Every structure is written in structure tokens, then in C-alpha cells.
Amino acid sequence: MDKTLELECTERVLELVRNRTSDLAPTPYDIPVDVYLDEERAHRERERLFRSLPLLAALSCELRNPGDFKAIEIMDVPILLMRDRDGQVGAYLNACRHRGMKLTEGHGTSTRLRCPYHAWTYDNQGNLTNVPFGPESFPGLCLEEKGLVAVPCQERHGIIWVKLDRDDGPLDVDEFLGEMGDDLATWDIGSWHFVNSKPLGANANWKLTAEGYLENYHVGALHAESLAQIAKSYYGCARTPFGDHQRLVYANHMIDTLVDIPKEEWVSFDTGAISFIYHVFPATMMVMFFDHFEVFQIFPGKTPGTSTTIQNLYTATELVEYDEKKAMQERFDFVYMLVEAEDYWAAASTQAALLSGANDTLVFGRQEIALHHLHDTCFKHLQPAFEPA
């Protein structure tokens, strides 16, 4: 990681720990519970946040070579990412132009994709190249007009971004990320190595699941037997906003060992004294550790009370030894279990209790400042509430 950024963030976090505090908003923040329950609100979020803004669909390392592809579902939209022979990545709807079957699933490598149903075949630029018995069966069929339907896509900072709304112009990831782009660029994300990916459903609104990544106030209580053994609770969360997005740096207990060491000798990131979360609005969480990276893609479900998270794990160097691979797989499983059994258990419990009517509003404390930002940014994008007639 970037040494200047590491030292700057360590200093800030250490200062917060010394003062037994975290970055604070001026006042607490009330949020109406309707934002987690209302159908119309959920519809607008899907349209204006998740269909209109760029979304992280994959990292470049998942499609490292020409011919590599990845199929992913985003809010029930099947997307196919393919790297063509020139090294360019394209995104398409993963739906055959004959009778609509998905062409493939997961990751793979092939210069041609053949539909399993009747063998219509496409190249890795989405062009339809072969239709069995075409001249007799489909007289007049124009292959050029039956290529896969393209989805706006851009590869930037080692990340493949897509936009679901195909009528809303091309993607501009630099504009979308603003200054956070420079920060992300320091992580050399294109050189990472893919380890595993797995979806996790939750009976909770996507914002409730997202909130768990954005404050460490809950660590001591909810994660008393797990994360709290490593990470500090309440203290030492330094937040930096980048437009709609934000970066959080969390203090781990290891940071206490730095107190008596001169700044020039600090090795805070590689020793696990601090960890980073990049929150790419609306709900991609990139959690950075010294040897591996966890990327959580959070999407709304069909109803306000459901969501899906895709958990991904990447490493800084390629794992070769069996023991290394086994250890990283165990890490993946541990995080999945922790998120499911603790964070998303709390989120689902909250969602269920919201329906009781006990609370008209919920309240975020001053230290839950990143949640103020998440909700403010949602409100900003969702205004005006209704289009003028």
C-alpha cells in the first residue's frame, strides 16, 4: 500500500485512540423508519441508485486474459463480462437472442460461447457467429442484428464497472469516483488475485446490511467473541469523504504497540494495526488488509426487506502452496459466517422489529458519521421524490 497514505491514516487513527474517540458528526441524526420499509422508496432506490449509477461488477484480475469471462447476477439482471482478443472488456445481457437462455454461469475461458439450448454461438465481442440450420430455419435472419445486448461498461483502476440502465448514456467512472479514484489507484487493484466469491441473502433492507460495515460502535457488543478480539470498538475510526463515497480507517488492538515507536519505524498496515474500508456509493464495500482484500457487493432484493450481498476475496500475491490456499479459504468461510451469523442476523432482527411500529425514527450517534453520509447521499439522489407530471 501507499506509504504516505499509511502514515497519514495511522497518525489520525492513533490520535483518535489516544483521545478515546472517533471522527464525529456535529449532532446525532434521526432517520424515518420508512426508508427501510416503503415500497415506493425501494423502487426509486433501485432505479436511481442501482440502475443509474456505475456498479462494481468484477475486478480486472477475474478476467485477466483474452477469452476470460464472468457471469454475474445484479438485481436479477444476468450480466456477462467478456475480455476480447484485443484485451478490451465488454458487458452484455447474459441472454441468448434465440429463446433467451443464459449462455453460461460463473467464471471461464473461451473464444466462443455456445448456448446450451440450441447451440447459437457468439464470439467474445458479443457477435452472433453461428446459427445451426440457420438458412432453412430462420430465412432472412441477419446475424449482425442478433448480437448480445451490450450494457455500458468501463474498466478503471483494476475494476470492471457496469451500468444497468442502457438508455442513460455511457459510463464515466472518473467522474463518478471523483477524488476517490486517486486513492483507489494506489492499491494496484489490477494486480490482485481472485480467490472465491459467494452470494449471501439477508432478510433486511440493503441499507441495514450496508450500515454494519460503516461503524465500529457495534464491534464490542455484537462481535464480542469474534471481531472484538482483533478490532477496537468505538475508538479510532477515521473517516474521509470523497463526494458520494467515503473511506474509513479502523483501529485494531495492534495499534497500541505503536505508541512507543518512532513514526519513521511504523509498519501499521502490514502488522494489522489499521484496516481500511472504501465505501463506493451506493453499497460496494472494499475492505483492505495487508495480504488480502474482501469486496462486498450489496444489492437490494425484490422487496424492501430483502437484499443480497456477494462476498469476494482476493489476495495481493498468487497463492501457490496448498496450505496458503487452505488458510485463505478458511478466512473466506470465517468472514462469511461472521457476516451471516452476526451482522446480517442483527440487520434481519432490526428489519423484523421495524414492522412493530415501536420506532417512527431511528437515531445514529455522532460517531456513526458514515451512516449520516450514506443516508444523506441517498436522499440527495432520490430527490425530487416524484417526477413532475
384: amino acid identity, one letter: P
State the binding string over 96-125 for ligand FES (x if CB under 6 A, else -).
x-xxxx-------------x-xxxx-----
Residues from 259 through 288 that contact Fe ion (CB under 5 A): none
- Site for Fe ion (CB under 5 A): which residue of 232, 343, 348, 372? 343
Per CB under 5 A, which region of 1-9, 116-124, 265-273, 337-345 contacts Fe ion?
337-345
Instruction: Name the one range near Fe ion by CB under 5 A: 105-113, 314-322, 328-336, 340-348.
Output: 340-348
| Cell digits of residue 116 | 446450451
For residue 381, state whether it binds ligand FES (rule: CB under 6 A): no
Taking CB positions, which residue lies at the least distance from Fe ion? 343
Residue whose cell numbers read 473461451: 110
Residue 357 zone, left/alpha/beta (φ > 0; ψ -120 to 50; rest):
left
Candidates 9-17, 182-190, 205-213, 266-274: pick the segment binding Fe ion (CB under 5 A): 205-213
The stretch among 11-19, 145-153, 184-192, 339-347 that binds Fe ion (CB under 5 A) is: 339-347
Give phi and psi for 74, each to the nearest 5.
-120, 110
Query: Does position 212 bind Fe ion by CB under 5 A?
Result: yes
Q: Is 207 in contact with 307 (CB distance < 8 Å)?
A: no
The site partner of 212 among ligand FES, Fe ion, none (C-beta below 5 to 8 Å per kind) is: Fe ion
Least spacing, CB of residue 317 vs ligand FES, in Å: 40
Q: Which of 190, 209, 247 is nearest to 62 (CA)?
A: 190
* Residue 101 contacts which entry, Fe ion, ligand FES, none (Cβ below 5-8 A, type-dependent): ligand FES
Q: In this structure, which amino acid lies at residue 123?
A: D
Coil/strand/helix, residue 352: helix
Where do runs of H (alpha helix) occur along the chain?
Answer: 3-18, 34-37, 39-44, 134-137, 173-177, 180-185, 206-211, 219-222, 322-338, 344-354, 369-382
The mark string for 67-96 relative to ligand FES (x by CB under 6 A, - otherwise) is -----------------------------x
Given ligand FES, Fe ion, none, residue 99, with its beta carbon under 5 to 8 Å by kind, binds: ligand FES
CB closer to ligand FES out of 100 and 169 = 100
CB closer to ligand FES out of 114 and 381: 114
Total residues interacting with ligand FES, rule: CB under 6 A: 10
3-state percent helix, strand, coil for the chain, nearest multiple of 5: 35, 30, 40
Residues making up the chain, counted from first to last: 389
Which stretches of 108-165 are DSSP H helices?
134-137
Closest to Fe ion by CB, 45 vs 343, is 343
C-alpha cell at 101: 437462455
Give the residues across from 193 on adjacent strands. Answer: 315
Asked if 304 and 36 touch (Cβ cutoff 8 Å), the reply is yes
Burial of 376 (0-12, 13-18, 19+ CB in 10 A): exposed
CB of 130 to ligand FES, least distance (A): 10
Q: How far is the CB of 57 from ligand FES (least distance, A)?
A: 23
343 binds, among ligand FES, Fe ion, none (CB under 5 to 8 A by kind): Fe ion
Binding site for Fe ion (CB under 5 A): 212, 343
Binding site for ligand FES (CB under 6 A): 96, 98-101, 115, 117-120
